């Protein structure tokens, strides 16, 4: 078994034993019904008392073959509204960047918590899309409205 | 770090690792390439006064990284150990001043930023039944590594972590996300060495007195730090562009006037030069008041040709091989021309017509003049490019003939064809010399190998007292041949842009002469290397010694006179370029 697989199995065990409240994360099923450990689906609840709170936001986590040497790729649905999410849905977060803060010790739990934090606490210095970034910087009212609209859309997302 | 190299290179290296604390000035001067100083008053001749220094990557690390740390330890910060000083220097981008200032002004922060703990306990352990939290493997027997923080991981995980971290040239920290401790340079290498296949010769280590420099001699983290440091100072350091060469050249002092000693100045000079040279209107400038130097003739002796420690010559300005007799702007223009599709476009222009309706290119390679476009099915007449239906449905008869229009098109096509042929003429010769150069190199490599084995055989059997100086002529021939070819190669680029002035013929004659001697020399090399003569190659070498030496001289002379011819021709404006070609 490859290095990535062993580690991912362990990650799965760890997650099932204990994970933060309101989150879910699980490997996708492959065509033949077996678990595909390299592709995970997860739900990130918006933090309480923020404009994100009502939604549970879906992400996919894709692990490369050389994981955990290389970080996984985390994606929201396309055109997800957030200053640090690319139009493709790819998340721009330093702990997910090989050249920045990725370290092999980062777990799935660290990742989903990191993404949750990013949702309500965007980084205006690394814009990834124009609409959300502009609104966040210049028109807070519009930004709040858009985020809340989006939260409603993802209200009922779950496993 | 390159381990291959000529004898001179090895010698240099020994000298460099022979650590002397304060390298004296003369010593440094040996490495300097002084370009001749003619008229220090002339402000435009900046590059003439430029001084360059050759470095191998290893020397660079020794001098700027390791010796910097040793110096700090000997003078300002004797209380620190070398490892910590290296980390501090690395963290503060190798600025000794910064290290001293921060050490005394802001000690706690510096230690924290550098990830140096108060008490050190870094260990590589041999462990039984260990489960690593990174790879989640259960090992029966494995080495583990931990820094003083106690975050322990298996050595495999540490090794692949180090490998990925190595690329950015920064200090490497503990794998744990919240831990800032730094892995010292020596330890990183120790871990790499655990996985390295090649075992270093113990005899070599035995004779080597361990110095600071030898301890760090193969440190991969320092090499990677050197790469990123050098790459971040592009105007001060240039890598040698020769393939696999890891030498670099430093611009020590480029300033005629020691007024402004910063990088911008040289950039400015370069871009200034660039703009004046690239401007095709250089020779008839309208606004002279704005740029008074613009009207001066091109002086290729100003081209900053430098040579690295392994004798690869290159232009510091273009970071391209020695391209004399061509000035830098001509080189740029030529490279661009060869690279982009402008010549393909010219061919299409010269040999095809566009469909009058959909503008697709059509090459007519036979058949009648009733054309049907394959793309849009438009039917037209190849003669007048008008719709076919007006030509009737009988036999071909085109009366819609506008002579002047037709002539214009044909003239244009003819010009394009001539210009294409002209380009191909020069390009072919340029390319031939380039590929011959590669061929020559291979041949000479082989000959060199054979000579070496021959020499060692001879000395073993005490057959002769030939020494290396006796076969130096081979090395000289090698150098002359490649250099001669290089100059010839670029002389065709020169020729392509040259205006047809009377003096051009003198240039071409000189070029022809160099061509001949280079070919003669190449022929002997080829003959020696011929498979048929496999057994007699050393014999042939010795037999042709005289011819080789004289041809070597002839090539070197021919090369010099071609460059001189170009230089004086351009200076006195007997030769001129036409960049509008």
Q: Report the residue of chain B nearest A110, measured CA to CA.
A: B177
pLDDT at B67: 92
pLDDT at B174 > cutoff 90:
yes
Residue pairs spanning A and B at CB distance below 8 A: 42
Q: Are B482 and B441 in contact (CB under 8 A)?
A: yes
Quickly state the pLDDT bin for A158 (edges 50, 70, 90): low
Quickly state the pLDDT bin for A64 (edges 50, 70, 90): very high
Q: Are A89 and A78 in contact (CB under 8 A)?
A: yes
Cβ–Cβ contact B157 with A under 8 A: yes
| Same-domain pairing of B121 and B234 | no
Whether residues B161 and A3 touch (CB distance < 8 A) is answered with: no
| Same-domain pairing of B209 and B105 | yes
Which of chain B's residues have a Cβ under 8 Å away from the Cβ of A7?
Answer: 134-136
Tell me the two tokens of residue A155.
Answer: 């209200």
List, for residues B322-333, the tens digit of each pLDDT value: 888 888 888 888
User: What is the C-alpha radius of gyration for chain B, rounded to an integer number of angstroms?
Assistant: 32
Q: Which residues contact B198 (CB under 8 A, 6 or more apart)?
A: none
Mean pLDDT of B149-174: 91
Q: Report the residue of chain B nearest A1, measured CA to CA.
A: B137
CA distance A143 to A51: 10
Which of chain B's residues have a Cβ under 8 Å away from the Cβ of A6?
Answer: 135-137
Q: What's the domain range around A8?
A: 2-153
Cβ–Cβ contact A97 with B under 8 A: no
Whether residues B175 and A70 touch (CB distance < 8 A) is answered with: no
| Same-domain pairing of B410 and B463 | no
> Is residue B565 assigned to a domain?
yes
Q: Are B312 and B240 in contact (CB under 8 A)?
A: yes
pLDDT at B70 > cutoff 60:
yes
Task: Tell which wins on pLDDT, A132 or B466.
Answer: A132
Mean pLDDT of A80-84: 94
Task: Tell which wins on pLDDT, B39 or B209.
Answer: B209
CA distance B5 to B310: 7
> Is residue B344 assigned to a domain?
no
| Same-domain pairing of B70 and B98 | yes
Tell me the two tokens of residue A76.
Answer: 């929201």
Which of chain A's residues have a Cβ under 8 Å away from the Cβ of B139?
Answer: none
Look at B53-67, B258-272, B410-424 and tell me which has the smallest mean pLDDT.
B258-272
Which of B135, B137, B158 to mutate to probe the A interface, most A CBs <10 Å? B135
Whether residues B133 and A105 touch (CB distance < 8 A) is answered with: yes
Cα-Cα-Cα-Cα torsion B177, B183, B185, B191, nearest 10 degrees, comes to -90
The DSSP symbol for B49 reads G
Task: Tell which wins on pLDDT, A1 or B186.
Answer: B186
Confirm whether A92 is a catalytic residue: yes
> Is residue A158 assigned to a domain?
no
CA distance B260 to B393: 81
| Same-domain pairing of B218 and B243 | no
Cβ–Cβ contact B134 with A under 8 A: yes
Whether residues B134 and A7 touch (CB distance < 8 A) is answered with: yes
Cβ–Cβ contact B461 with A under 8 A: no
ipTM: 0.74
Q: Helix or strand or coil: residue B295? A: helix
Quickly state the pLDDT bin for B394 (edges 50, 70, 90): low
Mean pLDDT of A61-78: 92
Chain position carrying tokens 């949702």: A119
Those of residues 56-95 in A touching chain B at CB distance below 8 A are 66, 68-70, 95
pLDDT at B422: 84
B436 min Cα distance to partner chain A (Å): 42
> Is residue B17 assigned to a domain?
no
| Same-domain pairing of B393 and B456 | no
Which of chain A's residues have a Cβ under 8 Å away from the Cβ of B135?
Answer: 3, 6-7, 68
Chain position carrying tokens 């309706």: B357
Which of chain B's residues have a Cβ under 8 Å away from the Cβ of A70?
Answer: 164
Cβ–Cβ contact A1 with B under 8 A: no
| Same-domain pairing of B234 and B195 | no
> Is residue B23 assigned to a domain?
no
pLDDT at B479 > cutoff 70:
yes
pLDDT at B426 > cutoff 80:
yes
Cβ–Cβ contact A110 with B under 8 A: yes
Question: For the whole model, what pTM was predicted?
Answer: 0.65
Main-chain dihedrals φ then ψ at residue B50, nearest 5 degrees: -65, 145
pLDDT at B254: 56
Q: What's the domain range around B377?
A: 355-416
Q: Are B132 and B145 in contact (CB under 8 A)?
A: no
CA distance B544 to B487: 25
Q: Report the residue of chain A nearest B165, measured CA to CA.
A: A99
Cβ–Cβ contact A117 with B under 8 A: no
Look at A87-101, B25-39, B151-165 and tell me which has the smallest mean pLDDT.
B25-39
Question: What CATH number is given to the structural domain containing A19?
Answer: 3.10.110.10
Q: Report the residue of chain A nearest B133, measured CA to CA.
A: A105
Q: Are B517 and B465 in contact (CB under 8 A)?
A: no
Whether residues A6 and B136 touch (CB distance < 8 A) is answered with: yes
User: CB-CB: which of B134, B137, B167 is closest to A104?
Assistant: B134
List, for residues B430-445, the tens digit of each pLDDT value: 888 888 888 888 877 7
pLDDT at B30: 43
> Is residue B180 assigned to a domain?
yes
Q: Report the residue of chain A nearest B176, measured CA to CA.
A: A105
| Same-domain pairing of B429 and B559 | yes
* Domain-ending residue, one of B295, B329, B363: B329
List, for residues A134-148, the tens digit of each pLDDT value: 899 889 999 999 999
User: CB-CB: which of A95, A98, A105 is closest to B175?
Assistant: A105
Q: Are B530 and B454 in contact (CB under 8 A)?
A: no
Chain position carrying tokens 């490649």: B482
Pick the catalytic residue: A59, A74, A92, A128? Answer: A92
Quickly state the pLDDT bin for B400 (edges 50, 70, 90): low
Q: Terminal CA-to-CA distance of chain A, rounded, Å?
A: 28
Domains: count for chain B = 4
| Same-domain pairing of B387 and B275 | no
Domains: count for chain A = 1
Whether residues B176 and A110 touch (CB distance < 8 A) is answered with: no
- How far out from the chain centre does Cα B209 lie? 35
DSSP string, B78-133: TTS-HHHHHHHHHHTTT-HHHHHHHHHH-HHHHHHHHT--SS---EEEEEEEEE-T
Mean pLDDT of B390-419: 70
pLDDT at A37 > cutoff 60:
yes
List, for residues B271-323, the tens digit of each pLDDT value: 444 433 333 333 333 333 333 344 567 778 778 888 888 878 888 888 888 88
| Same-domain pairing of B495 and B556 | yes
Which of A103, A107, A117 to mutate to probe the B interface, most B CBs <10 Å? A103
* Domain-ending residue, one of B188, B223, B258: B223
Mean pLDDT of chain B, nearest integer? 76
Whether residues B137 and A6 touch (CB distance < 8 A) is answered with: yes
pLDDT at B262: 38
Q: What percent of chain B has pLDDT over 90?
A: 21
Which of chain A's residues have a Cβ under 8 Å away from the Cβ of B153?
Answer: 105
DSSP string, B363-396: ---SS-SEEE-TTT--EEETTT-SBGGGG-SSS-
Whether residues A3 and B135 touch (CB distance < 8 A) is answered with: yes
Burial class (CB in 10 A: 0-12, 13-18, 19+), A103: buried
Mean pLDDT of A104-114: 93
Whether residues B160 and A69 touch (CB distance < 8 A) is answered with: yes
CA distance B534 to B124: 55
Nearest residue to B393 (alpha-carbon basis) of B370, B364, B374:
B370
pLDDT at A103 > cutoff 60:
yes
The DSSP symbol for B293 reads G
| Same-domain pairing of B380 and B285 | no
- Number of helices (H), then strands (E), belonging to chain A: the values are 4, 4
Tell me the two tokens of residue B125.
Answer: 């352990």
pLDDT at A78: 92
Chain position carrying tokens 């030498």: B247
């Amino acid at each position: 078994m490859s290095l990535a697989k062993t580690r991912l199995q362990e990650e799965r065990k760890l997650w099932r034993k204990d994970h933060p409240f309101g989150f879910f994360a699980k490997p996708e099923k492959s065509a033949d019904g077996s678990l595909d450990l390299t592709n995970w689906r997860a739900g990130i609840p918006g933090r309480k008392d923020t404009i994100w709170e009502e939604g549970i936001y879906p992400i996919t986590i894709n692990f490369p073959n050389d994981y955990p040497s290389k970080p996984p790729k985390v994606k929201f649905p396309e055109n997800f509204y957030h200053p640090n999410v690319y139009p493709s849905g790819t998340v721009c977060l330093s702990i997910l960047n090989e050249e920045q803060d990725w370290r092999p010790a980062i777990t799935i739990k660290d990742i989903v918590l990191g993404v949750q934090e990013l949702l309500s606490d965007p980084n205006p210095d690394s814009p990834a899309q124009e609409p959300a970034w502009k609104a966040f910087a210049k028109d807070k009212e519009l930004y709040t409205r858009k985020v809340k609209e989006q939260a409603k859309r993802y209200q009922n997302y779950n496993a | 770090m390159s381990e291959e190299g000529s004898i001179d290179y090895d010698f240099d290296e020994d000298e460099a690792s022979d650590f002397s604390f304060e390298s004296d000035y003369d010593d440094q001067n040996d490495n300097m390439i002084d370009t001749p100083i003619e008229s220090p008053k002339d402000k435009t001749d900046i590059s003439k006064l430029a001084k360059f220094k050759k470095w191998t990557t290893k020397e660079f690390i020794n001098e700027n990284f390791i010796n910097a740390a040793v110096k700090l330890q000997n003078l300002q910060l004797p209380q620190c150990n070398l490892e910590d000083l290296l980390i501090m220097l690395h963290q503060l981008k190798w600025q000794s001043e910064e290290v001293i200032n921060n050490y005394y002004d802001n000690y706690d922060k510096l230690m924290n930023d550098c990830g140096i703990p108060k008490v050190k306990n870094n260990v590589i352990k041999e462990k039984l039944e260990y489960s690593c939290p990174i790879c989640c493997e259960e090992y029966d027997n494995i080495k583990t590594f931990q820094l003083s923080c106690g975050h322990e991981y298996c050595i495999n995980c540490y090794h692949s972590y180090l490998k990925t971290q190595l690329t950015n040239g920064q200090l490497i920290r503990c794998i744990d996300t919240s831990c800032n401790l730094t892995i010292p340079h020596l330890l990183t290498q120790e871990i790499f060495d655990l996985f390295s296949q090649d075992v270093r010769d113990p005899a070599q280590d035995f004779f080597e007195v361990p110095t600071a420099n030898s301890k760090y001699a193969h440190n991969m983290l320092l090499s990677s730090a050197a790469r990123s440091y050098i790459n971040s100072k592009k105007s001060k350091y240039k890598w040698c562009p020769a393939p696999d060469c890891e030498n670099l050249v430093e611009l020590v002092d480029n300033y005629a006037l020691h007024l402004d000693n910063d990088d911008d100045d040289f950039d400015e000079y370069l871009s200034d030069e660039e703009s004046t040279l690239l401007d095709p209107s250089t020779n008839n400038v309208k606004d002279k008041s704005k740029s008074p130097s613009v009207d001066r003739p091109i002086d290729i002796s100003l081209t900053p040709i430098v040579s690295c420690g392994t004798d690869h010559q290159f232009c510091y300005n273009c970071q391209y091989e020695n391209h004399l007799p061509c000035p830098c702007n001509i080189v740029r223009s030529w490279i661009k021309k060869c690279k982009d599709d402008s010549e393909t476009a010219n061919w299409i222009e010269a040999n095809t017509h566009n469909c009058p309706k959909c503008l697709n290119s059509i090459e007519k390679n036979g058949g009648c003049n009733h054309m049907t476009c394959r793309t849009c099915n438009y039917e037209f007449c190849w003669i007048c490019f008008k719709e076919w239906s007006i030509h009737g449905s009988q036999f071909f008869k085109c009366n819609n003939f506008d002579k002047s229009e037709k002539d214009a098109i044909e003239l244009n096509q003819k010009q394009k064809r001539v210009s294409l042929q002209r380009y191909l003429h020069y390009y072919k010769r340029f390319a031939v010399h380039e590929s011959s150069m590669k061929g020559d190199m291979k041949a000479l490599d082989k000959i060199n190998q054979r000579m070496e084995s021959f020499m060692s055989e001879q000395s073993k059997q005490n057959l002769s007292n030939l020494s290396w100086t006796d076969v130096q002529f081979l090395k000289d021939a090698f150098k002359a041949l490649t250099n001669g070819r290089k100059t010839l190669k670029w002389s065709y680029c020169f020729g392509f842009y040259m205006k047809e002035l009377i003096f051009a013929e003198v240039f071409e004659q000189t070029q022809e002469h160099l061509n001949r001697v280079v070919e003669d020399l190449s022929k002997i090399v080829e003959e020696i290397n011929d498979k048929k003569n496999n057994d007699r190659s050393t014999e042939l070498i010795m037999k042709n010694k005289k011819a080789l030496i004289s041809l070597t001289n002839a090539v070197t002379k021919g090369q010099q006179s071609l460059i001189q011819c170009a230089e004086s021709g351009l200076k006195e404006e007997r030769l001129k370029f036409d960049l509008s070609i």
